[in-house]
Amino acid sequence: MPSSTARAERIVGTVTNAGNQPDLVGNRFPVADEIDAANCPVTGELPEGLRGTFVRNGPNPAFEPIGRYNALDGDGMLHGITFGDGTVSYRNRWVRSRGLDVELARGEAIYPGLGDVMNFPSRELTGDAGPVKNPANTHVIEHAGRWLALWEGGLPTEVTRGLDTVDEYDFDGRLRGAMTAHPRLDPRTGELLLFGYSLFEPYLRYHVVDADGTLSHSVDIDLPAPVMMHDMVMTEHHAVFLDSPFVFDLANLGKGPMVRWMPEHGARIGVMPRRGTADELRWFEIEPGHVQHFWSGWADGDRIEFHGCRYDNPDFGIDNTTELGQRSAKDHNARPARFWVDLATGTADWEPMDDLEGDFNRINPAYDGVSVRYLYMSAFTEPDRHLGDFDAIVKYDDELAERTLWSAGPSGHVGESVFAADPAGTAEDDGWLLNAVYDDDRDATDLVVLDARDVAAGPIARVHLPRRMPFGFHANWFPEARS
Ligand SMILES: [Fe+2]
Task: Report the alpha-carbon distance of residue 26 to residue 13 in Å, rounded.
Answer: 17
**Exposure string (b/e) for 409-418, b if CB count within 10 Å is 16 or more?**
eeebbbbbbb
Expressed in angstroms, the distance from the first to the final Cα of the chain is 38
CA of 265 to the centre of ligand 1 (A): 23
CA of 418 to the centre of ligand 1 (A): 13
CA of 59 to the centre of ligand 1 (A): 13
pTM of the model: 0.95
CA of 243 to the centre of ligand 1 (A): 16
CA of 182 to the centre of ligand 1 (A): 7
Task: Report the alpha-carbon distance of residue 189 to residue 248 in Å, rounded.
Answer: 35
Q: How far is CA 131 from the centre of its chain?
A: 23
Contact 258, 215 (CB under 8 A): no
Task: Report the alpha-carbon distance of residue 136 to residue 151 in Å, rounded.
Answer: 5
CA of 230 to the centre of ligand 1 (A): 6
Burial of 94 (0-12, 13-18, 19+ CB in 10 A): buried
| Amino acid in the structure at residue 189 | T
Task: Report the alpha-carbon distance of residue 154 to residue 169 in Å, rounded.
Answer: 10
Strands 139-143 and 146-150: antiparallel
Question: For the chain, what is the total number of helices (H) and then of strands (E)?
Answer: 3, 33
CA of 213 to the centre of ligand 1 (A): 23
DSSP 202-218: S-EEEEEE-TTS-EEEE
CA of 474 to the centre of ligand 1 (A): 6
CA of 107 to the centre of ligand 1 (A): 30
CA of 212 to the centre of ligand 1 (A): 25
pLDDT attached to residue 330:
66
CA of 104 to the centre of ligand 1 (A): 27
Return the beta strands (E) in 177-327 as ranges. Answer: 184-185, 192-197, 204-209, 215-221, 233-234, 238-243, 246-248, 259-261, 267-273, 282-286, 290-300, 303-311
Tell me the CA distances in angstroms from 75 to 165, 169, 476, one per residue in order.
13, 18, 19
Task: Report the alpha-carbon distance of residue 141 to residue 121 in Å, rounded.
Answer: 30
CA of 161 to the centre of ligand 1 (A): 22
CA of 438 to the centre of ligand 1 (A): 20
**Exposure string (b/e) for 226-242, b if CB count within 10 Å is 16 or more?**
bbbbbbbbbbeebbbbb
Q: Hey, what long-range contacts does 242-249 have (CB within 8 A, 24 or more apart)?
A: 242/267, 242/268, 242/269, 242/270, 242/286, 242/290, 242/291, 242/308, 242/339, 243/267, 243/268, 243/269, 243/270, 243/283, 244/288, 244/289, 244/290, 244/291, 245/288, 245/290, 246/290, 246/314, 248/199
CA of 387 to the centre of ligand 1 (A): 13
pLDDT attached to residue 286:
98
CA of 138 to the centre of ligand 1 (A): 7
pLDDT attached to residue 315:
78
Q: Which 8-state DSSP code applies to residue 177?
A: S
- How many other C-beta atoms lie within 10 A of the C-beta of residue 347? 12
CA of 41 to the centre of ligand 1 (A): 30
Contact 343, 300 (CB under 8 A): no
Contact 76, 95 (CB under 8 A): yes
User: What count of residues does the chain have?
Assistant: 483
CA of 360 to the centre of ligand 1 (A): 7
CA of 416 to the centre of ligand 1 (A): 10
CA of 483 to the centre of ligand 1 (A): 33
pLDDT attached to residue 483:
41
Task: Report the alpha-carbon distance of residue 88 to residue 294 in Å, rounded.
Answer: 31
Contact 352, 296 (CB under 8 A): no
The angle subtended at Cα 198 by Cα 196 and Cα 200, nearest 5°, is 150
CA of 227 to the centre of ligand 1 (A): 15
CA of 344 to the centre of ligand 1 (A): 32
Give the pLDDT of the chain (483 residues) as one tens digit per residue: 344 444 668 999 999 998 889 889 999 999 999 999 999 999 999 999 999 999 999 999 999 999 889 889 999 999 999 999 889 999 999 999 999 999 999 999 999 988 887 889 999 999 999 999 999 999 999 999 999 999 999 999 999 999 999 999 999 999 999 999 999 999 999 999 999 999 999 999 999 999 999 999 999 999 999 999 999 999 999 999 999 999 998 887 777 778 899 999 999 999 999 999 999 999 999 999 999 999 999 999 999 999 999 999 887 766 677 767 676 666 668 999 999 999 999 999 999 999 999 999 999 999 999 999 999 999 999 877 777 789 999 999 999 999 999 999 999 999 999 999 999 999 999 999 999 999 999 999 999 999 999 999 999 999 999 999 999 999 999 998 654
CA of 153 to the centre of ligand 1 (A): 12
CA of 480 to the centre of ligand 1 (A): 25
pLDDT attached to residue 5:
41
CA of 181 to the centre of ligand 1 (A): 6
pLDDT attached to residue 328:
63
Q: Which helix (H) or strand (E) holds 459?
A: strand 459-464
CA of 139 to the centre of ligand 1 (A): 7
CA of 292 to the centre of ligand 1 (A): 6
Task: Report the alpha-carbon distance of residue 131 to residue 459 in Å, rounded.
Answer: 45
Full set of structural domains in the chain with CATH? 4-479 (2.130.10)
CA of 180 to the centre of ligand 1 (A): 9
φ, ψ (nearest 5 deg) of residue 419: -90, 120
